[in-house]
Every structure is written in structure tokens, then in C-alpha cells.
Structure 1
Amino acid sequence: MENCELLEKCVFFNDKMGNMPSTASVIKMRYCREDSSGCARYLVCKALGRENVPADLFPNQEDRARQLIASAR
């Protein structure tokens, strides 16, 4: 699978977890490079717009993403 279409401007991919490089690497591989469809940040961005993606939302917080989307609708 190819990289996430939002990768270049993704705050998480480009700025987060500098102090945890091995953890960041695993998360980025899973959600940014393999399958973005389950990424919480991707889900919120697509449903509500990039401006509504919380800065502290991690890619693996899909349940939180679904709650944010449901609350906004």
C-alpha cells in the first residue's frame, strides 16, 4: 500500500514523538505507510476537516476519533 495522502502535512508524522523514536517508527509504519484507513487523525480529517483534528490525537485512538466525529454531527 502507498503512503497516506495526508502524510506531507500531518503534524503527527512530522512533529510528534521525537523523544520516542522506536515507538513513533512503529506507529508511523502502521498508520502512515501501510493503512491510513484506520488512523484516527485521518478519519477526523476526512470527516470534519484538517482544522478539527486535535493536536493531541494519536493515530491509534480510533475510538476517540469516532466519538469526535459523532459529536460533531
Structure 2
Amino acid sequence: MAECELIKGCIFFNDKMADMPSTAEIFKTIYCKGEFSNCARMIVVKSLGREKVPLDLFPNQAAKALEIVKKG
């Protein structure tokens, strides 16, 4: 199974999820080591660039990511 190209430097997991390792592993299994094209953070990265990803955007917030992309 392929792994997301951004996983090693993902600010979300390295900063936001540092105190929740179990939850982080669940998200990583689903989004980083699975269907990373469905990751909200990846959606924004691919459309607008990494600098446009809000720090508090969770991988499972695809609807919010689409709103961000729509607003540009």
C-alpha cells in the first residue's frame, strides 16, 4: 500500500496530534496509508498549495476542504 508523500512533514500529525497518538494512528491508517486522495489536507494542498492548508484542518473534513478550495 502506498503512503502519502506528505506524511513525514505533515504539520497536522507532528504538531496537532502529538498528544493523541492513538487517534493519530487511526487517521494515518485511513488517510495517510490508505485513501490519501480523500484527505482534506491533501485536497487543499493539491488545489491551492501547502501554505493554504489551515493548521486546524482535520483529514476527515473533506467538505471544509472543498469550501476552502472553492474560495481559493
If the length of structure 2 is used for normalisation, what is the TM-score? 0.91
**Alpha-carbon separation, structure 2, partners of 1:3 and 1:53:** 19
Q: How far has the Cα of 1:6 moved from its partner?
A: 1.4
If the length of structure 1 is used for normalisation, what is the TM-score? 0.89
Paired positions, count:
72
Deviations 1:33-59 (A, max 9, x none): 111010000000010000100000010
Aligned partner letter, 2:54: P
Asked if 2 retains the 8 angstrom alpha-carbon contact of 1:45 and 1:53, the reply is: yes
Does residue 1:52 correspond to 2:52, yes or no? yes
What value does the CA root-mean-square deviation take over the aligned residues?
A: 1.0
Consecutive unaligned residues in structure 2, runs of 5 or more: none
Q: Which runs of 4+ in 1 moved over 4 A?
A: none
Structure-2 residue corresponding to 1:8: 8
**Alpha-carbon separation, structure 2, partners of 1:69 and 1:22:** 29
